[in-house]
A and B are shown apart, each in its own frame.
Chain A
Amino acid sequence: MSEIREVSVDELKHLVSDRARSGENMLLNMGPQHPSTHGVLRLLLELDGEIVISCVPDIGFLHTGVEKNMEAKTYQKAEVMTDRLDYLNPPGNNLTYCLAIEKLCEIDVPPRAQAIRVILLELTRLSSHLLWLGTSGLDLAAMSVFLYAMREREKIMDIMEMVSGQRMMTTYIRPGGVWRDVPPEFDAAVQDFCNIMPARIDEYEAILTNNSLFLDRTKGIGVISVEDCLRYAISGPILRAAGMAYDLRKALPYCGYEQYEFTIPTHTDSDIFARYSVRVAEMRQSVRIIQQALDKLPSGPVRSNNRKYIPPPRSEIGVSMESLIHHFKLWTEGFHAPKGSVYVATESPRGELGVFLESDGSPKPYRVHFRTPSFANLQIMPLLTRGHFVADTVGIIGSIDIVLGDADR
């Protein structure tokens, strides 16, 4: 174990002002263990009294080495690692990785699998936004909304468990479709959830939207312009709260998102409250998409029939020798993907999640790189916090909705 080495101010002198080095301004270390940094983020704040002069984020306390580890596993086995990156959006990570494999190997996906994917993705978006609502409410001293949000989140967790057997790390979306068909009680459970959810979102809004304590802490804080967002490659709700209606589900549809009617909520104020409004409006749109997908859920297979890449269904293994051989080959040796590299992007609850996948023709990915939204979004922390109080920093971190597993990988 390495010893704790203190980083001297000299190493950071280009990031803090001269007043900090002479001791006139205070340097405050926030994190990595801090209740409101949403994980293990460390911020070095330079303070003049209570005003933040500059902010130096330090990430990497959750660096997991996923990209290196995936190079040592076959394509199918590496998929379990993707869940644990952005642990509030596991099906989204699976999906992006699977879309990259599907693009690389040109695998088709049956329509039923597409619709199931969309339902699960939107449920995950809801659960991620619910957790964000609860924890960022907690940061701004609104305790009760956490309890309400977690109540609905448990319902989503129950649906996830019903389809995949795991509450969070589902690994349910697989290359060429999904793991297996949804159980018969799935439709009723999702319908039940869609019925109660709009009223529950009204409940959260009743607690927060007109609450003057909440408004005082959120209005006019952490403002960033659209131009700055684009320069810093910010995507997701932060970009939409700045006024740009950009959503990859509309711009470059995947999984058949073009079939569903939904709007992209935007706001113009670009402060914490605008991001809150955009996310709450997005939750309503997600319920709309789930309802539409559920209403016209097609029947049919849920997994591609391309036996070169996709293992045969379990029922065939007992009766067909070829299926047994395919199954054995695919799960021991893996499949040989064509040589080349692809980039696929999807809209995660936090912004653009991309996978860059390079194959050298072997059963293991040669290089996997995740373009994660939290990593890019965290970069604007110095811009957002400058000139605000230390207490507002907490609200700003919450409004970016960071997941450190996503940022550090």
Chain B
Amino acid sequence: MGVEQKLGTMGIVTTSLENVVNWARTNSMWPMLFGLACCAIEMMGAQAASYDMSRFGMELMRASPRQSDLMIVAGRVSRKMAPVLRQLYDQMPSPKWVIAMGDCAACGGIFNNYAILQGVDEIVPVDIYVAGCPPRPEGLIHGIITLHEKVKTEKLKEWA
């Protein structure tokens, strides 16, 4: 299965530019290497051999926000970390997406107190929320595939 089967004898595929761009974006999404707390351990588990996130074109975790287009907020965000996280988000080039992994990043989780941001959506726009404390690696992978589905339906004119 590959593009060859669609080519036929003509060597041409007709599709819309939107489809091609979204297809490319979903299959080479580079997440930012950015672990905060417990969920980061499960994120590492998702990258390791048993779950192998590289099956979805994301084996390359970039340490620099300038080279990445997906931010996985893995863990609780404290008030001290919040400005840093927003700065990292601002440094990422567009188009960019955010996954709030785990309950703490999604809504504050069990830590309803002075130190923890009640959901990372207070400071960055979130595309996908993954529930769990921490979510299993399968949960994260499900979140990523859901994000892929979302990206596939994006319209180019919305980015313009």
Contacts and interface: CB of A to CB of B under 8 A. Distances in A.
Contacts of B75: 62
What DSSP secondary structure best describes chain B's contact surface?
Answer: loop
Interface string B57-98: 000010101000000000110111111101110000000000
B115 A84 contact: no
Contacts of B114: 65, 68
A87 B50 contact: no
B123 to A, nearest CB: 6
A39 B36 contact: yes
Contact of B83 (A2, A62, A69, A80): A2
Residue from B63, B110, B111, B122 whose CB has the most chain A CB atoms within 10 Å: B110
Contacts of A147: 48-49
Contacts of B37: 39, 62, 84, 87, 404-405
Given A68-B113, A81-B110, A150 B49 contact: yes
Interface stretch (B15-23, B38-46, B144-152): B38-46
A35 to B, nearest CB: 4
Interface residues of B, number: 41
A63 B42 CA distance: 20
A60 interface: yes
B134 A169 contact: yes
Contact of A131 (B36, B41, B113, B133): B41
Nearest to A4: B83
A2 B79 contact: yes
Interface in A358-409: 404-405, 408
Given A168-B134, A169-B134, A64 B38 contact: no
Interface residues of A, number: 40
A61 B84 contact: yes
What DSSP secondary structure best describes chain A's contact surface?
Answer: loop
A153 interface: yes
Interface string A116-133: 000000000000000100
Interface in B26-42: 33-38, 40-42
A167 B136 contact: yes
A64 B86 contact: no
B116 interface: yes
Interface in A40-66: 40, 60-66
Interface of A: 1-4, 32-35, 39-40, 60-66, 68-69, 80-81, 84, 87-88, 131, 134-135, 146-147, 150-151, 153-154, 157, 167-169, 404-405, 408
Given A1-B83, A1-B123, A84-B37, 19 more contacts: A1-B79, A1-B82, A1-B86, A4-B83, A33-B84, A60-B78, A64-B76, A64-B111, A64-B115, A65-B113, A65-B115, A80-B110, A84-B110, A134-B48, A150-B45, A151-B49, A153-B45, A168-B134, A169-B133
